[in-house]
Structure 1
Amino acid sequence: MAAQNDLVARIRATSLRTPMSPATGDVVSLAIGEPDFATPPGIVAAMKRALDAGHTHYTSPLGLPELRSAISGRVGRGYDPDGVTITHGGSAGLAAVIMSAVNPGDTVVIDDPTYSLYADIVAAAGGTTVRVARRADGRIDQERLRAVLAGAALLIVCQPGNPTGRILTAEEWRSIAEATRGTGTLVLSDEAYGGILYGDGFVSVLDVADLRDRAVLCQTFSKTYAMTGWRLGYLVGPASVIADAALVHRTVNGAINTAAQHAALAAFDAAVERDLKAMVDQYRERRDVMGAELLAIPRLTFEPPDGGFYFFCAYDDPRTSLEIRDAARRCGVLIRPGREFGPAGEGHIRLSFATSVADIVCGVRRLAEVFDRPEPPGA
């Protein structure tokens, strides 16, 4: 048997990601990380038209020129199409930036807790991840951040956060800009849930003028447009940085589905915008329902999310988050363990409200049983 590849070994040694069991039989899932809505009909119709028109061949590895132009126009802020590249979903966009910016031995700073994929890609690039735990109020520890950013190749932020649902304040962005000014540190902002917001105050990395020369936005059509299976994302940033990322992306992924890119142009139509508003309205209703149900479990504490579709709950129980996950499954509900999102996530669980109100109510009430009754010996 061949020796294990070093890259595989690095990822296995780093990864906190856990496999998710399917919800079968009488099991409710509050673990899923994708919208339960259908893709808006205007986008589906545009896909059919694209196929009928014969858009079934390769396009530029950078992406369909019309789509890159539409994104640059939508983003504004002076970014032209040379600062945009289309990617094979948000995940491939993240990988392209990290792999193009990080050399073996480089330091990459990430939030804690945060989306587990970041550390895995850093490990694949041979970099070292440094985690910055949030303060008790859920905000960035700015002093700690400044200390660890010295000499870092890359800072990765996720907002609205997965799993926390938090957004970065203007003050936090100013702190990041100050800490990276005059350095070679690139700032990568994963804003996959940026179209699912429940209030004002969202500041994109592209809105921070002091980060203009070192900021990259990673965005995807997956979450906002309920297009997870379409695998379309994009990067926006300085043209030289985007060119490097596009080279890595082309090498690993090749060209993106041409017809799907034509269909994505319809995502910016007024009719689809109305569909998006309707989806966010339903998410808001579900958030309120889940929050009310969770209040009935006194051993859980949480802050309602600013965006996205997750609650990240701390629990008062001696069991690990993996043990809580397993106990929840025995009670008929699937959840995500907090440890998956970093050391600071231990003692927490993530619950998704990207499902029906009926499943939310049923799932949270089943979860209550986990904390209401002791586990039998040997469970």
Structure 2
Amino acid sequence: MSLLTDRVRQVSRRPATLGQVPQGAVTLAMGEPAGGTPQPIIEAAEAALRAGRTTYPPMLGTPELRTAIAAHLDLGTEGARPLDRVVVTHGAAAGLAAVFLAHLDPGDRVVLPEPTYSLYADLVAMAGAVTSWVPARDNGTLDPERVLGSLDGARMLVLCHPSNPTGEVLGPEVLQSLIERCEQLGVLCVVDEAYRDILLDEAVAFRSSAEWLGSSEHVVLVGTFSKTFSMTGWRLGYVAGPASVVSHVGTVHQTFNGQSAMFVQDAAVRAFEVLPTVLPPLLEHYRENRRQVVQALHDLGEAVTFAEPEGAFYAFPRIHSDLSSDELVERFTAGGVLVRSGREFGPSGEGFVRLSFSGERTAVIEGLHRFTETVRRLR
């Protein structure tokens, strides 16, 4: 076993049983979008296959897809060419890995505001860097003042926006203050916008880090086709940022990943074209599922506390009991519903669990019924 493997195993909080569903159980554990990949995207892939688009693609991604991503992010034409600021990656996970490996040296400090996506800490360990956790507020949401106070001497700040696991959408002024502080200190601000199009509370303003990509040398955006377009199994993502940063990301990515298949990239171009058609019904589905989740959690009264999700498709309730998060997961599994342990998302996630409401309505409602019945039995 290598030192790298040992480092990752020592810090990883990700469950080894992820994706396994016992017979008869309902899962609220996975962020798998409902409905499957829209038919026009599948048809575009089929057409590309028939047209012989099965050869090696360019290592940074096809020009057509990189142009479409740049247009989606509204990168404009100022400064470096938009194509110089985008690299297509083998899923967002590989994009994140390439960013971390391209910019971190052993011993560098990486600030992770809690709670946050559990892959980040594993990638920090893989690079030989050190995670600096920033505790959340009592309701599980990001504490801006603590984050701002943690950035001195850091090499990187990683934000999940909207948040996995809480569904929090950072206020525009909060995001701006964090990015400006990173610019002042020379800290690279990596913003994972996997859920950028899944905005559930229409009263909440979302500000994308893409606004800074044309002017800042310290902001990198990581995106994916998995969530917006229900393309989880297609393994396609992207990194956008300053040309100087993206070139290093491309070098690292092509070293440990072959480029995604050309017909998959062709389908992704089509995905952007049909976005105005496929997104509204998905948002309507997630918003109704969110309403079901919020109502069920409120009905539990003082047994739980939570911040209502504003984006993505997760809720992150604190369960008031004497059980640890891992023990709570076991109780819920025994009750026939799968959820994720809060400790997976950082130390201050202890006592919380994560619910996904991305699935089909009937499964979400049944899962919530089993969830609430289990919580009531804990009291």
Pairwise same-fold verdict (TM > 0.5): yes
State the 1:211 CA deviation: 6.6
Distance 1:275 1:143 in 2: 38
Distance 2:360 2:260 in 1: 32
**1:55 aligned counterpart, secondary structure:** coil
Distance 2:357 2:57 in 1: 37
**2:167 aligned counterpart, secondary structure:** coil
Identify which of 241, 248, 251 aligns with 1:244: 248
Alignment of 1:28-39 (within 5 A): 28-39=26-37
TM-score, length of structure 2 as denominator length: 0.94
Partner of 2:71: 73
Distance 2:83 2:19 in 1: 41
User: Is residue 322 of structure 2 the alignment partner of residue 313 of structure 1?
Assistant: no
Partner of 1:54: 52
Check 1:359–1:139 CA distance in 2 against 1; reply closer, same or farther (3 A cut). closer
TM-score, length of structure 1 as denominator length: 0.94
State the 1:291 CA deviation: 1.5
State the 1:147 CA deviation: 2.7
State the 1:373 CA deviation: 2.5
Matched residues, percent identical? Answer: 42
Partner of 1:9: 6
Alignment of 1:125-164 (within 5 A): 125-136=127-138, 139-164=141-166
State the 1:137 CA deviation: 5.6
Alignment of 1:87-236 (within 5 A): 87-136=89-138, 139-198=141-200, 199=202, 200-208=204-212, 212-236=216-240
Deviation digits for residues 176-221 of structure 1 (CA, Å, limit 9, x no counterpart): 1332233321110001011110124111112247972211110000
Check 1:256–1:21 CA distance in 2 against 1; reply closer, same or farther (3 A cut). closer
Distance 2:109 2:362 in 1: 45
Flag structure 2 segments of 5+ consecutive residues without an equivalent. Answer: none
Runs of 4+ in structure 1 deviating by more than 3 angstroms, as ranges, are 136-140, 208-211
In the alignment, residue 9 of structure 2 is paired with which amino acid? R
**1:85 aligned counterpart, secondary structure:** strand
Deviation digits for residues 296-317 of structure 1 (CA, Å, limit 9, x no counterpart): 2231222221111111101110
State the 1:156 CA deviation: 0.3
Distance 2:76 2:138 in 1: 37
Distance 1:210 1:258 in 2: 28
Distance 2:61 2:149 in 1: 38
Identify which of 284, 289, 297 aligns with 2:287: 284
State the 1:24 CA deviation: 3.5
User: Is residue 266 of structure 2 the alignment partner of residue 273 of structure 1?
Assistant: no
Distance 2:85 2:214 in 1: 17
Distance 1:235 1:308 in 2: 20
Distance 1:102 1:209 in 2: 20
Check 1:209–1:75 CA distance in 2 against 1; reply closer, same or farther (3 A cut). closer
In the alignment, residue 348 of structure 1 is paired with which amino acid? F
The two structures, once aligned, show a CA RMSD in angstroms of: 1.7
Conserved in 1, the CA contact under 8 Å of 2:213 and 2:219?
A: no
Distance 1:328 1:343 in 2: 21
State the 1:73 CA deviation: 2.0
Deviation digits for residues 100-150 of structure 1 (CA, Å, limit 9, x no counterpart): 010001001111110000010010000001011222365543332233211
Distance 2:275 2:341 in 1: 34
Aligned length: 371
Distance 2:260 2:6 in 1: 29
Alignment of 1:34-45 (within 5 A): 34-45=32-43
**2:185 aligned counterpart, secondary structure:** coil
Conserved in 1, the CA contact under 8 Å of 2:74 and 2:210?
A: no
Flag structure 1 segments of 5+ consecutive residues without an equivalent. Answer: none
Partner of 2:341: 337
**1:351 aligned counterpart, secondary structure:** strand
